[in-house]
Amino acid sequence: MKLYGYWRSSAAYRVRIALALKGMAYESIPVHLVKDGGQQHQASYQELNPAELVPTLVDNELTLNQSLAIVEYLDAVQPEPALVPAEPKKVALVRAMALDIACDIHPLNNLRVLQYLTGPLQLTEQQKTAWIHHWLNTGFQALEQRLQQSAGRCCFGDAVSLADICLVPQVYNALRFGLDMTPYPTIQAIYQHCNSLAAFAQAAPEAQADAQ
């Protein structure tokens, strides 16, 4: 398997966690999202992933984008440890929480959106930070409330799931942008627990060959 990613991309980070948890070997191919105007926009990468986003997983004849689809694919071809439960109600709740992050928080604060805010819209650094914090706080408030129903050491009990795989990169991103995490003790505790596990350490941005 080949994983096209970038050390600091939340979406690529999710896939690295899943690969590490499952102990699956892969070749990491860095796509620098800033250098050369963004290598994700080069024709060779665009052919692989028309959306010009990372990550992309190549597994023989399969070329697959979208981190959540990739993680569930890995879960199907290498079922241990399971990252989503088998029972319909349980898997639905895990997926919903993963999507709370992947649809309702992350897309608003990723690189291309921030570039539009400071480019065409000419927002100041202060306005940009307010935007980032607004969507992080909106999402984390809801998540902190939901976790009261489901959390143990992880988002759902004590076993790592797709929800934790989304949560950890999102918190990493929030800390990078200086968000005050004090209002979110449950989220913080899960973040700390997950990061004490070897697979999460191995998948961390700073542990990647292309980290700067």
d(CA 69, CA 35) in angstroms, rounded, equals 27
Question: Which of the residues 153 through 212 are near a copy of itself (CB under 8 A)?
Answer: none
Phi, psi of 42 (to 5 degrees): -70, 150
The least CB distance from residue 69 to a copy of itself, in Å, is: 4
Asked if 51 interacts with a copy of itself (CB under 8 A), we say yes
Binding of residue 99 to a copy of itself (CB under 8 A): yes
Q: Binder to a copy of itself among 77, 175, 201, 207 (CB under 8 A)? A: 77
According to the binding rule CB under 8 A, does residue 64 interact with a copy of itself? yes
The 3-class secondary structure across the chain, one letter per residue, is CEEEECCCCHHHHHHHHHHHHCCCCCEEEECCCCHHHCHHHCHHHHHHCCCCCCCEEEECCEEEECHHHHHHHHHHHCCCCCCCCCCHHHHHHHHHHHHHHHCCCHHHCCHHHHHHHHCCCCCCHHHHHHHHHHHHHHHHHHHHHHHHHHECCCCCECCCCHHHHHHHHHHHHHHHCCCCCCCCHHHHHHHHHHHCCHHHHHHCHHHCCCCC
Nearer to a copy of itself, 51 or 175 (CB): 51
Query: Residue 101 Cβ, how far from a copy of itself at the closest point, in Å?
Result: 10
Applying CB under 8 A, the span of 18-26, 111-119, 171-179, 180-188 interacting with a copy of itself comes to 111-119
Q: Give the full edge-to-edge strand order of the sheet including 2-5.
A: 27-30, 2-5, 56-59, 62-65
Q: Given the complex with a copy of itself, which of 73 and 172 has the nearer CB atom?
A: 73
106 is an interface residue for a copy of itself by CB under 8 A: yes
Q: Which of residues 29, 48, 108, 189 is near a copy of itself by CB under 8 A?
A: 108
Helix axes 162-176, 10-21, angle to 10 degrees: 140
Contacting residue, 89, 182, 198, 209, with a copy of itself by CB under 8 A = 89
- As measured in angstroms, the least distance from the Cβ of 142 to a copy of itself is 4
33 binds a copy of itself (CB under 8 A): no
Closest to a copy of itself by CB, 77 or 207: 77
Residues that bind a copy of itself (CB under 8 A): 50-53, 62, 64-66, 68-70, 72-73, 76-77, 88-89, 91-93, 95-96, 99-100, 102-104, 106-108, 112-113, 116, 120-121, 123, 127, 130-131, 134, 138-139, 141-143, 145-146
